[in-house]
Amino acid sequence: MAHDHGHHHAHEGHGHEGHDHSRGSRNIRFAFFFNLAFTLIEVAGGFWTQSMAVLSDAMHDMGDSLVLGAAWYLSNLAVRGRDGKYSYGYGRYSMLGGWLTALVLAIGSLVLMVFTLSKINEPHEPHAVGMMVLAAFGLAMNGLAAWKLHGGSSLNEQGAFLHLLEDVLGWAAVLVGAVIIHFTGLGIVDPLLSIAINLFVLFNAVKTLRKGTGILMQRLPEGFDEVKITDALRALPHVVGSHDQHAWTLDGDYIVLTVHLEVDTSDAAERSQLTKAARELLQGMGVHHATIELELPQDECSLAHH
């Protein structure tokens, strides 16, 4: 499901991880093509076995393929670092890939749930043996792929690994459902399983959407204590006040902050020392990129009244 995978920090893209990076990118590419091929097998299998649960799992996998495709493309793009058009680098694109996929998955799971519920009263028994074969194949393949990605270093790789692990759980559920249907003849287990899978997908998609929307709307980063930072900055020598403090995050990890500090000194050396101290203080408090403007209290700040 679209978690907060896909983060590739903008500040990681300065070519200092050459070998490790190409391996990570190769792994993500493998996971992408693997998931894509698997989704196609699953869709065909869903129609063949007449199983809504398999089709719901297929949609979940399709979402994973989209996210992994975006992560693969972006892990290559992020290496380019900053350029003339994107002064912060490409960090936010990875988040955007996850956000859009979560939107697709949320809509898809709702549509599948409505469809499943409309058919729930029709007596219908899926092809249980076919479901078992598909699920066993799915477990083996996804287990192998998850094992291959296990222990990846980048956030992208960890995200891909979590996806594959989730797919393993999805297949395990389908397998259990197929066994129950096979031995009890209770066809209703299939639509119920389908609804459970879709609810799981929807829950994760909404979580990702909320997080992503907060990032896009430049909400304060999660766990970021603005008051604590303001107090720490105001406690620095020569600082008599501060205003226009804004903090936001590029991709959920990389934090940017801008602030205006009012100072009681016009001595160049003291001002330069203060800026350095403020920058170090902010870095120690989790800010990756700070822009600090110093003003004398009598300066008319054009922004102060906004």
Q: What is the pLDDT along the chain (306 residues), one digit of tens a residue?
A: 444 444 433 333 343 434 455 666 777 787 788 888 888 988 898 888 888 888 888 888 888 788 778 777 776 776 666 666 666 666 677 677 778 878 888 898 898 888 888 877 776 778 888 888 888 888 888 888 778 777 666 666 676 677 777 778 888 888 888 888 888 888 888 888 889 888 988 888 888 888 888 888 888 888 888 899 999 999 999 899 999 999 988 777 788 999 999 999 888 899 999 999 999 999 999 898 999 999 987 765 555 444
- Round to whole Å and give the CA distance between 128 and 187: 9
Measured CA angle at 77 (ends 73, 83), to 5 deg: 155
Measured between alpha carbons, how far is 117 from 138 in angstroms, rounded to an integer?
26
Residues 6+ apart with CB under 8 A from 240: 262, 263, 264, 297
Pair 290, 257: CB distance under 8 Å? yes
- The whole-angstrom separation of Cα 290 and Cα 255 is 9
Structure tokens at 61: 């996998």
User: Structural domains in the chain?
Assistant: 10-216 (1.20.1510.10), 226-295 (3.30.70.1350)
What single DSSP character describes residue 84?
Answer: S
Question: Are 24 and 153 spatial neighbours (Cβ–Cβ below 8 Å)?
Answer: yes
Q: Which helix (H) or strand (E) is 147 found in, with range?
A: helix 128-149
Tell me what pLDDT residue 171 has: 85
Question: Would you say 61 and 138 are in contact if contact means Cβ atoms under 8 Å apart?
Answer: no
Residue type, 101: T
- Measured CA distances, 278 to 88, 199, 225, 229, 297 (Å): 21, 47, 16, 10, 18
CB atoms within 10 A of CB 302: 7
Q: What count of residues does the chain have?
A: 306
Beta bridge partners of 140: none
Phi-psi region of 3 (alpha: psi -120 to 50; beta: other; left: phi over 0): beta
Consecutive H or E run containing 239 = strand 239-249
Instruction: Give the closest residue to 140 by CA, choosing from 176, 167, 163.
Output: 167
Structure tokens given for 7: 């983060």
Predicted confidence at residue 133, as pLDDT, reads 87
| pLDDT attached to residue 230 | 92
Residue among 77, 71, 92, 89 nearest 252 (CA): 92
pLDDT (0 to 100) of residue 3: 45
Helix H or strand E segment including 280 = helix 268-284
pLDDT of residue 11: 39
pTM assigned to the model: 0.69
* 8 Å CB contact between 173 and 118: no
- Find the distance separating the first CA and the last CA of the chain, reported in whole Å: 41
